Amino acid sequence: MGRLKMLLGGALLLGTASAGGAGLPMTAPMPAPTNAAAPAGTALAATATLRDPQGTAQGTVTLRQMGMGVQVRVEARGLKPGQHGMHVHEFGRCTPGVDAATNTVVAFGGAGGHFDPGRTGNHDAPTAPNTAGHGGDLPMLNVGADGVGRATFMTDKLSLTGMDGVLNRSLVIHAQPDDYKSDPSGLTGARERCGVLTRTNYAARDYALPGAQDFPEGVAYDARKGVIYAGSAQSGTIYAVNAATGAVSKFSEGGAVGRASALGLKVDTQGRLWIAGGAQGTVSVLSPDGAPVAVLETPRSPNAYLNDLAPAPDGSVYVTDSTRPAIYRVTPDLRISEWLSLAGTPIRYGPGLNLNGVVATPDGRYLLAVKLNTGDLWRIDLRSKAIRRVMGGLNNGDGLLLDGRTLYVSRNKDGIISKVTLGADYASGQVTAEEPVTGLRFPTTLAAIGGDLIVSQGQLDKLQGGTPETPFRLTRFPKF
């Protein structure tokens, strides 16, 4: 708390009704810009209807993106006069849920804890930067004698896009004042009002998955069947989702040897489903009815991480390994071998995940692959194996989708999809738009459904700790 960086000025405006913390000004801890381009379409905005635990509408919240900050307007009714803690909570669920302290179900517990993009685990003042305290810690709401509290203020702790993005999270008003220091929520007591921050003027469709531990990393679409496939990084289970109705069925239970985890998914021209097996070092092929066809093993290693795969026009399938510096190839006779060693090439493997999403160009000339830990996009010539750096700036790049000269890149930790316009011969590229969609939770991979895209919200960060937001979902939205 002593390391607060107090930045005052135009970036911050506290409404008169928000007398939180004895008039504490909000800081403007300016993070390094993560977004090179403005989001596509009109200005980003979000609204929420605040409801009481009985479900009655008791106010509204409006958020507008203004440069690097967000303007917040709150009006809440029917509250006890005085100061009320107010926070953005992690999950977009105003449902009953478990209060971990007592392990009982409480009103609006489904909203989870305070939004904490910096993973600080620290409740703090609204003046604290997100690296020191919860990003969701807002100034208290001052409620007048009429039971109405109004506030208008600017903050750059929040955004509607990127790592600090609050789309599809919730704003909660508590019963008690906020001491701006006690973990986990400043002694603010019960949750009295809750609303999910929903993007305005934007249409998208969610497909919910049935399991509490699905962690869908891969997504693929079979246009002939109208079926979306989603695979669990946690269990290897593959679901088939009817794209029209949203009905989910189990396509293949995970857990067998080589099938205990599923990362990248692709459908080939025969309607077979290909699965990158991650740390198992396997590639699996399922028949169009889900029966096992083959499990192909790369050399056994504690360091395998087969992450994504790309069927090429010649019938081969190329596979990236995010930790071993090699690209594997499966030939049409279903044999796997190392196709290209990356040792000594410009694609230098370092800590973390390296090559991840991969696509083959329709002319059969190149692979395009993104290196997650450095944000570089690479072009690899399928004939000469020559390697060329296309562009940088795609940090946390996970799944790729090539649509003509447009490359969509799923940026997992940033929670956005980047649109890249590629130059002649795929030799250069430029980010032309970045899209937060409806608020994405660690978006991993992409597939095309006609004029739409579908992204899996993998929440793989929650495999390292924390609670995932269920239901897990795939989100379908228009190309942009």
Partner 1 sequence: MRHPTLTALTAALLGVLPGTALAQSSPAPTARPIAPAEPPVSATVTRNEPTPLEYTADKLARLKVPAGFTISAMATGLGNARMLHVMPDGGIYLSRRAQGDVWYMKDTNNDGQISVGERRQVAQNMKAAHGMDVRDGKLYVVGEKTIWVMTMSKDGGLSVPRVFADGFPDAGQHPARDLAWGPDGYLYATFGSTNNDSPTQNPEEATMLRLTPDGKTREVYARGLRHTIGFGWHPVTGVLYGADQGSDWHGDNIPPEEINVIERGKNYGWPFCYGDKQPDPFVNVGNIPGKITKAAYCAGTQGSVLNYTAHAAAIAMNFYTGTAFPAEYRNDAFIAYRGSWNRNEPSGYEIARLVFGADNKPEKIEPFVTGFVYQDGGGWKQFGRVAGVATYTDGSLLFTDDQSGVLYRVRYTGGQ
Q: Which residues bind partner 1 (CB under 8 A)?
A: 49, 51, 53-55, 92, 94-98, 100, 103-105, 107, 110, 112-113, 168, 196, 198, 204-214, 235-236, 245-248, 250-260, 284, 290-295, 438, 467-472
Q: What's the min distance (Å) between Cβ of 109 and partner 1?
A: 9
Q: What's the min distance (Å) between Cβ of 247 and partner 1?
A: 6
What whole-number distance in Å separates Cα of residue 150 and Cα of residue 61? 10
The pair phi, psi for residue 460, each rounded to 5°, is -65, -20
What whole-number distance in Å separates Cα of residue 44 and Cα of residue 280? 41
**Sheet of strand 306-311: strand arrangement:** 306-311, 317-321, 326-331, 335-341
Q: What's the min distance (Å) between Cβ of 457 and partner 1?
A: 12
Q: Which of 190, 178, 195 is nearest to 107 (CA)?
A: 190
Q: What's the min distance (Å) between Cβ of 225 and partner 1?
A: 17
Alpha-carbon torsion (195, 199, 200, 201), positive or negative: negative
HSE (CB half, 13 Å, CA atoms) of 97?
19
Q: In terms of CB distance, is 30 or 100 closer to partner 1?
A: 100
Q: What's the min distance (Å) between Cβ of 71 and partner 1?
A: 21
What whole-number distance in Å separates Cα of residue 427 and Cα of residue 49? 47
Radius of gyration of the chain (CA): 23
Q: In terms of CB distance, is 16 or 104 closer to partner 1?
A: 104
Q: What's the min distance (Å) between Cβ of 115 and partner 1?
A: 15
Q: What's the min distance (Å) between Cβ of 47 and partner 1?
A: 9
DSSP class of 460: G
Helix (H) or strand (E) holding 39: none
Q: In terms of CB distance, is 94 or 172 closer to partner 1?
A: 94
> DSSP labels for 92-135?
S--S-EEETTTTEEETTGGG-SB--TT-------TTS-TTTS-T
Q: Which of 451, 434, 445, 227 is nearest to 320 (CA)?
A: 445
Copy the structure tokens of residue 389. 């750096």
Q: What's the min distance (Å) between Cβ of 135 and partner 1?
A: 18
Q: In terms of CB distance, is 42 or 103 closer to partner 1?
A: 103
Q: In terms of CB distance, is 210 or 313 closer to partner 1?
A: 210
Q: In terms of CB distance, is 239 or 366 closer to partner 1?
A: 239
Query: Which residues on adjacent β-strands are paired with residue 159?
Result: 165
Q: What's the min distance (Å) between Cβ of 323 and partner 1?
A: 22
Copy the structure tokens of residue 239. 């679901």
DSSP class of 24: P
- Residue type, position 184, single letter: P
What whole-number distance in Å separates Cα of residue 5 and Cα of residue 58? 35
Q: Which of 425, 412, 421 is nearest to 479 (CA)?
A: 421
Copy the structure tokens of residue 39. 């989001």
Q: In terms of CB distance, is 145 or 257 closer to partner 1?
A: 257
Q: In terms of CB distance, is 96 or 271 closer to partner 1?
A: 96
What whole-number distance in Å separates Cα of residue 124 and Cα of residue 14? 18
Q: In terms of CB distance, is 253 or 314 closer to partner 1?
A: 253
Q: What's the min distance (Å) between Cβ of 78 and partner 1?
A: 17
Q: In terms of CB distance, is 213 or 345 closer to partner 1?
A: 213
